[in-house]
Structure 1
Amino acid sequence: MTPTPPARFDHPRFIRLARPGGIEVTFMDWGATWLSCRVPVPGEAPREVLLAHPTPEDHATRGGYLGATVGRYANRIAESRLHRDGVTHALAAHPAGSRHQLHGGPDGFSHRRWQVTQQSDTVVTFSLDSPDGDQGFPGALHLDVVYTLTDAMSMAMEIRATVDAPCPVAPTQHAYFNLDAQPGSVLGHTLQLAASQYLPVDAELLPVDGPQPVAGTGFDFRTAHSIGNDYDHGWLLDAGQPAAVLTSSDGRLSMTLSTTMPALQVYTGGHLGGEPGRDSAPMVRNAGVAMEPGWLADSPNRAEWEQRTCWLEPMDVLIDHIRWCWTVSL
């Protein structure tokens, strides 16, 4: 049985951005959710490259975060605790039955109605205010997320945030991609990652150690090859180059992802099987791959790791970027 949508979920607002001859994207204000991305491919119909549920209500009630803007902190925080300078903050655990927190808690930013504060044919800005203590996080936060069609075949996301008390802030976009004309499993897609290190995790997907070299392991995607297996792991990105290149099974469509954030979580949708898809038919296992720029799992409590801190200080402004660019092979 599909859960009843929250009472505050009504009349979602939809925003369409497009450029002539280029990609066409659709968002809704609930969760600042990226619902659709249609990419023109010569000689065939435009390819819908995002997974989505059949109704907006499904996006509001189901747990896959399809296309949602997630936060305050995307990824997992161990034991739902923040530890810093001798102070511990207790966070709201999520999902139900877990001791840990995932993607900002049970009422994270993916489950909020955002304000549309700017809109044109090629740009939309979503804004959100989160009070002190929201899901256990310290400090009041203001967040703006700007999606821009930068050219016919590219879209950028700018994240801007401020806080009035020290807090880890790491929102991201949680779209699932499938670049095939006839979507099925993405394990036949080709993936390349600019990452020399990955994060080993335990059965609860929390760190067992710090980042380790990918060389000689099944986590080495420095040379492009088929995805092949289930993943829900974080990679620490090498600086100065695009984070990832994903290519469809038929080789016709590729997507390059670039980001200013230090890590990339890659999740191949192992729990998507049976979830209702865009056409209401059940999705297959591994129907899409989520590539989530951000920080490694439990980073707020791992100051010893060699990556930029995720803690935002009062009077500072967080500015981060993600860019997706599609290319077609004739």
Structure 2
Amino acid sequence: MTGRQVFGHFPDGRPVESLTLQGGGLTAKLLTMGAIVQDLRLEGVAHPLVLGTPMLEPYFSSMQFFGAIVGRFANRIGGARFTLDGRDYRTNANQQNRHILHGGDDGTWRQLWTLHDQAQDRAELRLALDDGHMGFPGKLSIAVTCALRDKGTLEFDMRATTEAPTPCNLAHHGYFNLDGTADICDHSLQVAASQYLPVDAELIPTGEIAPVDNSRFDFREARLIGAGGIDHNLCLSTEEQPLRCVATLRGQSGVRMDIETNACGLQVYDGSHISGLPGLDGRIYHAHAGIALETQGWPDAPNQPGFPSAILRPGQTYRHRVRYCFSA
């Protein structure tokens, strides 16, 4: 049944709503905080397909980023600083007090979005980030449409405009588990990427663009994810492309998810640091409970001239589309 209801409240009393969407054999619950996909079900499958929690509080702390639209710059910017048009900018350093991750402590994932439109199978949420928010220049106006399309498809259409040049890189940060099991180690993954970005000990790209050949980042042929530990960007292209299929995740239960996007990068994180989190249907999530497959621009792009540009300028419209297509 579609509709909306109060899910919880911000510490200052503002209500967070849960929006129920149905279409294409899917039922999704979308929160107005962070545009979070809190739950996702496929008709005929007994378990949820994503990691979520029935309470609001964990989304402020231990489960921050889970299922949210993250930004204004998804992933990391090394040193929490960058230079744009000859001017230096320092941003909120929310990772190890050294780097900025997913837009900072008060990024899009922690914001209360405004519901602009809702139908049975879709909702549009909007958000404005002020000039200087988390240290970024330019007032950024964001609109995200979450829709359930035919044949089990969860689609995000993310748009943004700015009043001054600024880094812009939005991503859906869902964690997926297609089997409803304790971990995703027995899921298989295939990704159309022949290169990846090596990172340093603090997960900041070194600037090298390396071939995946003979490495644990080679998913050109479907293989089991295992528990080896991965939190890296796989390079899909060096510029935005038309919508195309870039990855396939398969569970042992027979559920399959194909990912279509126009983005040039796919961050793969196998959830190795998840520990004791309160999940859906009474589950407790531990290491590798789900895998994040985040289509996006390349991390640290504002500091890496050899990476695809992630700068949005006045008069331009940022647009990022991703479709998660489920079948059983």
What is the TM-score normalised by the length of structure 1?
0.91
The number of residue pairs the alignment matches comes to 316
Structure 1 CA distance for aligned equivalents of residues 311 and 148 of structure 2: 29
Give the match for residue 271 of structure 1. 273
Structure 2 CA distance for aligned equivalents of residues 174 and 37 of structure 1: 14
Give the match for residue 321 of structure 1. 321
Tell me by how many angstroms 1:64 deviates.
3.9
Tell me by how many angstroms 1:280 deviates.
4.6
Give the match for residue 248 of structure 1. 251
Tell me by how many angstroms 1:157 deviates.
0.6
Partner SS, residue 79 of structure 2: helix
Q: Is the 8 A contact 1:30 1:60 kept in 2?
A: no
Letter in 2 for 1:123: R
Alpha-carbon deviations, 1:188-233, whole Å to 9, x = none? Answer: 1000001010000111001123211111111100000001122101
Structure 2 CA distance for aligned equivalents of residues 113 and 61 of structure 1: 16
Partner SS, residue 47 of structure 1: coil
Give the match for residue 163 of structure 2. 164
Give the match for residue 218 of structure 2. 220
Q: Which runs of 5+ in 1 are unaligned?
A: none
Match of 2:40 among 37, 42, 45: 37
Structure 2 CA distance for aligned equivalents of residues 271 and 67 of structure 1: 16
What is the TM-score normalised by the length of structure 2?
0.92
Report the CA distance shift for 1:9/1:246 in structure 2 as closer, same or farther (over 3 A).
Answer: farther
Structure 1 CA distance for aligned equivalents of residues 175 and 182 of structure 2: 13
Give the match for residue 189 of structure 1. 187
Identity of aligned residues (%): 34
2:18 matches 1:14: yes
Partner SS, residue 15 of structure 2: coil
Tell me by how many angstroms 1:276 deviates.
1.8
Letter in 1 for 2:260: S
Partner SS, residue 246 of structure 1: strand
Partner SS, residue 13 of structure 1: strand
Give the match for residue 311 of structure 1. 311
Letter in 2 for 1:137: F
Structure 1 CA distance for aligned equivalents of residues 23 and 107 of structure 2: 32
Q: Which runs of 5+ in 2 are unaligned?
A: 1-8
Q: Is the 8 A contact 2:34 2:108 kept in 1?
A: yes
RMSD value, Cα: 1.7
Partner SS, residue 58 of structure 1: helix
* 1:1-330 alignment, distance < 5 Å: 6-8=10-12, 10-19=14-23, 22-41=25-44, 45-95=45-95, 97-180=96-179, 182-228=180-226, 229-238=228-237, 241-250=244-253, 252-305=254-307, 307=308, 309-328=309-328
Q: Is the 8 A contact 1:53 1:280 kept in 2?
A: no
Tell me by how many angstroms 1:281 deviates.
4.2
Letter in 1 for 2:273: H
Report the CA distance shift for 1:37/1:51 in structure 2 as closer, same or farther (over 3 A).
Answer: same
Give the match for residue 4 of structure 2. none
Higher strand share: 2
Structure 2 CA distance for aligned equivalents of residues 185 and 81 of structure 1: 36
Tell me by how many angstroms 1:81 deviates.
0.3
Partner SS, residue 243 of structure 1: strand
Q: Is the 8 A contact 2:257 2:324 kept in 1?
A: yes
Alpha-carbon deviations, 1:37-93, whole Å to 9, x = none? Answer: 10123xxx4331010123022213334411111110000000000112321101011
Letter in 2 for 1:301: N
Partner SS, residue 277 of structure 2: coil
Structure 2 CA distance for aligned equivalents of residues 318 and 116 of structure 1: 20
Alpha-carbon deviations, 1:120-154, whole Å to 9, x = none? Answer: 00110010011000000000010000011121411
Partner SS, residue 16 of structure 1: strand
Structure 2 CA distance for aligned equivalents of residues 160 and 7 of structure 1: 29
Structure 1 CA distance for aligned equivalents of residues 46 and 43 of structure 2: 4
Q: Is the 8 A contact 2:194 2:212 kept in 1?
A: yes
Structure 1 CA distance for aligned equivalents of residues 83 and 12 of structure 2: 33
Structure 2 CA distance for aligned equivalents of residues 279 and 148 of structure 1: 24
Structure 2 CA distance for aligned equivalents of residues 261 and 222 of structure 1: 18
Structure 1 CA distance for aligned equivalents of residues 145 and 60 of structure 2: 21
